[in-house]
Structure 1
Amino acid sequence: MRAEWEALAQPAEQIATGQSVGLPVPGWSGAAFPPWRALHGRLCRIEPLAIEAHGAQLFDALHQMPGGANWTYLSHGPFAKLEDWLAWMRGSIVQDDPQFYAIVDVADGAAIGLCSYLRIAPADGCIEVGFLNFSPRLQRSRQATEAMYLMMRNAFELGYRRYEWKCDAQNEPSVRAALRLGFTFEGLFRQARTNKGRNRDTAWFSILDHEWPARRRALEGWLADANFDDQGRQLRSLADFAACHEHER
């Protein structure tokens, strides 16, 4: 356990008292609170969540999976009727944190997923991505990867030092997605909360600012048109690109 701790810990130095402390962060004055604005990609857009633009479309898109499987690990939903979903949206879009967005397919303008920034701490330089809900059309698509890339890129450009991903430890697709996207698993918070009357152990993942350049190059390489054939099939995996950039900064 100590070896794992030391492998994850950031560099430190010893001060006059003989104690070890973290290294100084020169010129640190905090990150910027994320402005509620659209993020534009080639395949998708991240748009501030809006009832008129996204409400009905997202209700239909996110209620297609049998048994509402895409809602199992979320603290809200599924919703029996459109009015209930719109009421949830009204209460959510007035908040600064979480800050909700719709994921929109550039090809036809359809809203096909939901995401957010949350636990936004500009003074500490820490921000989390969460409340992810992908429709069947968005799941395992290039748009899904691009959406997560756009959210990451925006956060680091705003000056954040730490980008977090947390999920129910039983949510295997979310765990796999975090690892695929280049997040580092940091640990398991046992009995962190209850969700829909059940225990939730929370798995924590992160990407740090000095890790981002290599993650960015891997994601951009994978997303490039040259990495896909005429049938839209990938030629190289994201793991392959990540391995090529593993030791870069």
Structure 2
Amino acid sequence: MNTLPNWHPAKLPPATPLTGRFIRLEKLDPRQHRDDLWEVFNGPEADAALWSYLPYGPFEEREAFDRWLDSNAATSDPLFYTVIDLRNGQAQGILSLMSMVPAHGRIEIGHVAFGAAMQRTPKGTEAIYLLGKLAFELGNRRLEWKCNDANSRSKRAAQRFGFSYEGLFRKHMVVKGQNRDTAWYSIIDDEWPAIAAGFERWLAAENQRPDGQLRTLEACRTSA
């Protein structure tokens, strides 16, 4: 039997801000964030494919969007965060910690919705790093990532961030009237130090240069 003599249940995440080099994560507050989020999710520069694999959206009416934000802000699991661009103070995306099982040290990053202003920039990567770092600091043994198996963009992101593919849950859900097979990924606590070092190398000023990134996240992780 694989006993855990020093095991203590994980703590639940506090609703306190997390600050990096490029972004700050704040607990979702519709009073402060709703106007920015409406613009980035529904304005002229919005990513049309954003809602394709999410169980909600797109939102054609502001009232429905506001109700959705309000309901998200009222929950503690999922615990929703807003991504704030430190350069201009704009709210540009949301994501959450969810499916929390402190007794077993298990937690998930989910409900990831990044506006176009975050895509192909360090901001999204730093948001995942900050939540991953918090998850393991709280004593979790396992950080999960799940997505629709048809969502190639999310699957590529999971692999890029260092999550390991664990398998496919066939006919796992019905989403928007369609079958969803769910791909499961994870990072475990034994793997996190090397993965975290890779994130930190990639996000560092010497790698994030005005003329472009010097090394990929995968390369930074390999050399960590």
1:119 aligned residue (95, 99, 105): 99
Residue 82 (structure 1) shift? 1.6
TM-score for both structures, normalised by structure 1: 0.87
Can you give the 5+ residue segments of structure 2 that lack an aligned partner in the other structure? none
How many Å separate the matches in 2 of 1:38 and 1:152?
A: 14
Matches within 5 A, 1:1-249: 21=1, 23-64=2-43, 68-231=48-211, 233-245=212-224
Q: Give, as a single letter, the amino acid of the residue that structure 2 aligns with 1:175.
A: K
Does structure 2 retain, via aligned residues, the 8 Å contact 1:56–1:82?
Answer: no
Residue 177 (structure 1) shift? 0.5
Can you give the 5+ residue segments of structure 1 that lack an aligned partner in the other structure? 1-20
How many Å separate the matches in 2 of 1:90 and 1:144?
A: 23
- What residue number does 1:18 align with? none
TM-score for both structures, normalised by structure 2: 0.96
C-alpha RMSD over aligned residues: 1.3
Does structure 1 retain, via aligned residues, the 8 Å contact 2:83–2:92?
Answer: yes
Residue 66 (structure 1) shift? 6.7
Does structure 2 retain, via aligned residues, the 8 Å contact 1:182–1:215?
Answer: yes
Q: Give, as a single letter, the amino acid of the residue that structure 1 aligns with 2:158.
A: A
Residue 98 (structure 1) shift? 0.8
When residues 180 and 110 of structure 1 are mapped into structure 2, their CA distance, relative to the original with a 3 A threshold, is same
Residue 229 (structure 1) shift? 2.8
When residues 67 and 31 of structure 1 are mapped into structure 2, their CA distance, relative to the original with a 3 A threshold, is closer
Q: What is the number of residues matched between the two proteins?
A: 223
How many Å separate the matches in 1 of 2:72 and 2:127?
A: 20
Residue 241 (structure 1) shift? 1.3
User: What percentage of aligned pairs have identical amino acids?
Assistant: 42
Moved more, 99-108 or 74-83: 74-83
How many Å separate the matches in 1 of 2:32 and 2:67?
A: 15
Moved more, 73-82 or 145-154: 73-82
Cα distance per residue 1:137-181 (max 9 Å; x no partner): 101210111111001001100110000000001111100000001
Moved more, 216-225 or 61-70: 61-70
How many Å separate the matches in 2 of 1:195 and 1:116?
A: 19
Cα distance per residue 1:3-52 (max 9 Å; x no partner): xxxxxxxxxxxxxxxxxx4x111221200011111111111011100011
How many Å separate the matches in 2 of 1:161 and 1:172?
A: 27
How many Å separate the matches in 1 of 2:47 and 2:218?
A: 32
Cα distance per residue 1:178-234 (max 9 Å; x no partner): 000100000011110011011101000000001000001001000001013332x11
Does structure 1 retain, via aligned residues, the 8 Å contact 2:160–2:217?
Answer: yes
Q: Give, as a single letter, the amino acid of the residue that structure 2 aligns with 1:165.
A: W
Does structure 1 retain, via aligned residues, the 8 Å contact 2:41–2:47?
Answer: no
How many Å separate the matches in 1 of 2:47 and 2:109?
A: 25
Answer with 1 or 2: which has the greater Rg. 1
SS in 1 for 2:12: coil
How many Å separate the matches in 2 of 1:173 and 1:210?
A: 26
SS in 2 for 1:42: coil
